[in-house]
């Protein structure tokens, strides 16, 4: 009975029982797989296309391993945040959520440092116009970074809304769930990039 009342309360009664927004997010992420798939393919084609200039060897595996670890850990924090909000624990929900954003910023900081190092290297600078390894690298990693940056902004917005009466105990959590889906996806893309471009 209470489930029925709940269903009546929600504006979007749906055929599958899934929230419209969540389904829309899945469709969007499906589209994004093709987006990053195409970029990755271009990167793989040009991985050794260096014209004698700097190539894969200049990638700093140690630094990126650390930022990768931070980014992957942030997914755990994201899960804990949603769980805390669902349990009605606003305080820890916010803390975990803020931590995700901070870890995203750390990752971005590492990327900015990496890009700056490449571009300003005094012997062998690597810019998008140096060779196609560089062009593909900046395109792929740059687009991923832009996705992380949008994610951080989104997390920040969600955090602000949690102070403005959203995600209250017993309320709906789709705002957290959506940004979580997006964040996990961006993480997953990084796993592919890190493996295919940095590791092998």
Partner 1 sequence: MATVTTTAPDTRTFAGTAWSWITTVDHKRIAVLYLVTALGFFALGGIEALLMRLQLARPDTDLVSAERFTELFTMHGTTMVFLALMPLSAAFFNLLVPLMIGARDVAFPRLNALSYWIYLFGGIFMNISFLAGGAPNAGWFGYAPLTATQFEATHAIDFWALGLQILGVSSILASINFIVTIINMRAPGMTLNRMPMFVWMSLITAFLIIFAFPAITIGLVLLLFDRYLSTSFFLPAGGGDPVLWQHLFWVFGHPEVYILILPAMGIVSDILPTAARKPLFGYPVVAYSGAAIALVGFGVWTHHMFTVGLGPIADTAFAISTMAIAVPTGVKIFNWMATLYGGSISIKTPLLFAVGMVAMFIIGGLSGVMLGSPPIDAQVQDTYFVVAHLHYVLFGGTVLGLFGGIYYWFPKFTGRLMHEGWGKVHWALMLIGFNLTFLPQHLLGIDGMPRRVHTYPADQGFELWNLLSTIGSFAIAASLLIFAVNALVSIRRGQPSGNDPWDGGTLEWTIPSPPPVYNFAQIPVVDGRYPAWDAKRGGGHTGAVAAATAHGDEDEDEPDIHMPNPSYWPIVLAAGMVIMACGLIFHQVFILLGAVLFGVSLLGWIEEPAA
Residues forming contacts to partner 1 in the complex (CB under 8 A) are 4, 8, 11-12, 14-16, 18, 20, 23-24, 27-28, 30-32, 34-35, 37-39, 42, 45-46, 49, 51, 128-129, 131-132, 135-136, 139, 157
Ramachandran category for residue 170: left, alpha or beta (phi over 0 → left; psi -120 to 50 → alpha): left
CB of 180 to partner 1, least distance (A): 18
CA dihedral 116, 39, 58, 134 (to 10 degrees): -70
CB of 51 to partner 1, least distance (A): 5
- Three-class secondary structure assignment of 176-194: HHHHHHHHHHHHHHHHHHH
Distance, in Å, from the CA atom of 128 to the CA atom of 138, rounded to the nearest integer, reads 6
Decide whether 84 or 126 has the Cβ nearer to partner 1: 126
Decide whether 92 or 115 has the Cβ nearer to partner 1: 115
Decide whether 11 or 57 has the Cβ nearer to partner 1: 11
Decide whether 48 or 121 has the Cβ nearer to partner 1: 48
CB of 69 to partner 1, least distance (A): 29
CB of 66 to partner 1, least distance (A): 29
Please answer whether residues 82 and 176 qualify as being in contact, where contact means their C-beta atoms are separated by less than 8 angstroms. Answer: yes
Radius of gyration of the chain (CA): 20
CB of 199 to partner 1, least distance (A): 23
Please answer whether residues 168 and 91 qualify as being in contact, where contact means their C-beta atoms are separated by less than 8 angstroms. Answer: no
Distance, in Å, from the CA atom of 14 to the CA atom of 16, rounded to the nearest integer, reads 6
Decide whether 4 or 123 has the Cβ nearer to partner 1: 4
Decide whether 29 or 90 has the Cβ nearer to partner 1: 29
CB of 111 to partner 1, least distance (A): 18
Distance, in Å, from the CA atom of 100 to the CA atom of 77, rounded to the nearest integer, reads 6
């Amino acid at each position: 009975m209470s489930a029925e009342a709940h269903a009546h309360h929600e504006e979007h009664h749906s055929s599958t029982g899934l929230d419209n927004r969540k389904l829309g997010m899945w469709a969007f992420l499906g589209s994004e797989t093709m987006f990053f798939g195409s970029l990755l393919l271009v990167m793989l084609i040009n991985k050794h296309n260096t014209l004698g200039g700097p190539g894969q060897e200049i990638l700093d595996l140690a630094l990126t391993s650390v930022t990768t670890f931070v980014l992957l850990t942030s997914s755990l924090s994201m899960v804990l945040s949603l769980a805390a909000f669902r349990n009605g624990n606003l305080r820890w929900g916010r803390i975990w959520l803020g931590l995700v954003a901070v870890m995203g910023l750390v990752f971005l900081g590492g990327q900015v440092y990496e890009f700056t190092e490449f571009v300003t290297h005094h012997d062998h600078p690597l810019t998008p116009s140096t060779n196609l390894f560089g062009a593909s690298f900046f395109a792929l990693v740059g687009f991923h970074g832009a996705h992380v940056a949008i994610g951080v902004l989104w997390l920040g917005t969600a955090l602000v809304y949690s102070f403005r009466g959203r995600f209250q105990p017993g309320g709906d959590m789709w705002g957290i769930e959506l940004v979580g889906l997006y964040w996990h996806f961006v993480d997953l893309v990084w796993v592919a990039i890190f493996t295919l471009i940095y590791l092998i």
